[in-house]
Amino acid sequence: MDKKSMIDFVDCWFSRVHQSMIDTLNIPLTSQAEKHSEALKKELGTTKSMSLLEMASNSGLLSTICTMYFSQTDGSRLPTRRFFQYESIVKTALNSLHRKLPTIDISQVIRILANITSCVYQNPASSFINHDEIKEICVQTIKTSTTKTDDIHHFERQVSEMVRVICDHVGILTLRSKSLYGFLHQAFQEYFTCLKLLETDTSEKQKFVVDGFSREKKIQLVTQRLCHHMSDQRFRVPIALAFGKISSSWSLGDFEDLCYELIQTQHEYDSFLPLGAYVLINCVDDFVNYPSNDILLDAFNRLITAAGQHEWLIVCPFLLDQITNTLRKFRKDIVSLWVAEFLSQTSSHNIQTITAFCQLLEGKPHEFENIQ
């Protein structure tokens, strides 16, 4: 949907909901739908968030967004960062499930959906999961919260109920063909994949508890997961979402240590493209908090050095264009600091690196000329 269609959808949604309430209460009230929907329409009309517009272009997700706004009493806006936009939509769906089925363990539902993403990615040709695989994931997940003394029949009932909830009631998976299920929206799959990436316990029989792991182990495990999937294009958005979550909820020290490990880790393609540095700076839109300038400058330097050594300007100029576009998203003081540091060390750079640096800063005419 384009923006006009989104606005029309919001008008229709709020109008029908308000009219339904008036009819149900059988009270002669004037509909407040237009006033109630004003905040959401204004946000959709003025937002520059491409992730929000992408979600709102899907009628199913826009309906969930309408539900979120309908439930608000303080007039607050949607989160600006993509991870929290996705999280808000998923929480709305799960809250709806909890109201219908209050005895369901929502934390188990979340773990099962995160585990399902692993199975889905093992079948890249279809991105589907069959009913039996969902059941097995439910069995293994529920086992983690049961004891040996639990009644086997009670356990089987738990599994059966959870399979029914996951397949038919949660509103996040949908039947695609005979016994094959997929995520209803790509945003759902990306969000739960992100949660799976951030799990720091590789044991299927243990639930992650922050205090149960040393910070070094947490950083190591998450770094390994991110590095393992960095070259897979399907994980581009989930990794960006993970950086949004990490940069907001981890301590600054832990976040910076992870960033450092990420750009230091050797990857298959590092001889041509320092993959860790490349992924890190391309997640700038999702950062809630920035890592230190030292880490960002290290990432920039690794990229510009590779650009010179491997003659990106000739071999793959699109990579330089991508880095230029990314530089535009950083604060000017960070770019200025990097430029100043690079220029202070020109004697240590070869002519190819200096040429790549000049090409990088050339960008559009006069784009960087005001950097002090």
pLDDT in tens, 264-314: 887 776 678 899 999 999 999 999 999 999 999 999 999 998 888 888 888
> Is residue 53 domain-shared with residue 135, that is, in the same domain?
no
- Is 156 inside any structural domain? yes
Total count of residues recorded for the chain: 372
Q: At what angle do helices 59-71 and 33-46 cross, to 10 degrees?
A: 120
Identify the bridge partners of residue 103 per DSSP, sorted by sequence position: none
Q: What is the model's pLDDT at position 147?
A: 66
**Cα–Cα distances in Å, from 81 out to 241, 276, 283, 369?**
9, 22, 11, 30
Q: What is the pLDDT of residues 85-127, one digit of tens each?
A: 999 999 998 998 899 899 899 999 999 999 999 999 887 777 8
pLDDT at 73 over 80: no
Give the confidence band of 25 by pLDDT, cuts at 50, 70, 90: confident
Residue 169 CA neighbour count, 13 Å, CB half? 17
The first and second tokens of residue 7, run together, are 């606005």
> Is residue 124 domain-shared with residue 166, that is, in the same domain?
yes
> Is residue 64 domain-shared with residue 28, that is, in the same domain?
yes
> Is residue 57 domain-shared with residue 122, that is, in the same domain?
no
> Is residue 186 domain-shared with residue 113, that is, in the same domain?
yes
> Is residue 65 domain-shared with residue 141, that is, in the same domain?
no
- CA 128 to chain CA centroid, nearest Å: 20
> Is residue 193 domain-shared with residue 110, that is, in the same domain?
yes
The amino acid at 99: R
> Is residue 110 domain-shared with residue 193, that is, in the same domain?
yes
Domain that includes residue 43, residue range: 3-78
| Eight-state DSSP code of residue 5 | H
Collapsed DSSP state (helix, strand, coil) of residue 183? strand
Instruction: Tell which of 197, 222, 248 closes a domain.
Output: 197
pLDDT at 212 over 80: no
What pTM did the predictor assign?
0.85
> Is residue 355 domain-shared with residue 305, that is, in the same domain?
yes
- Is 254 inside any structural domain? no
| Eight-state DSSP code of residue 134 | H
Number of domains in the chain: 3
The answer to whether 112 and 142 are in contact (CB under 8 A) is no
> Is residue 22 domain-shared with residue 59, that is, in the same domain?
yes
- Is 207 inside any structural domain? no
Q: What is the model's pLDDT at position 327?
A: 87
Q: What is the model's pLDDT at position 299?
A: 93
Query: Which residues contact residue 176 at a Cβ distance below 8 angstroms, ignoring those fewer than 6 apart?
Result: 128, 182
Q: What is the model's pLDDT at position 205?
A: 40
Q: What is the model's pLDDT at position 52?
A: 87
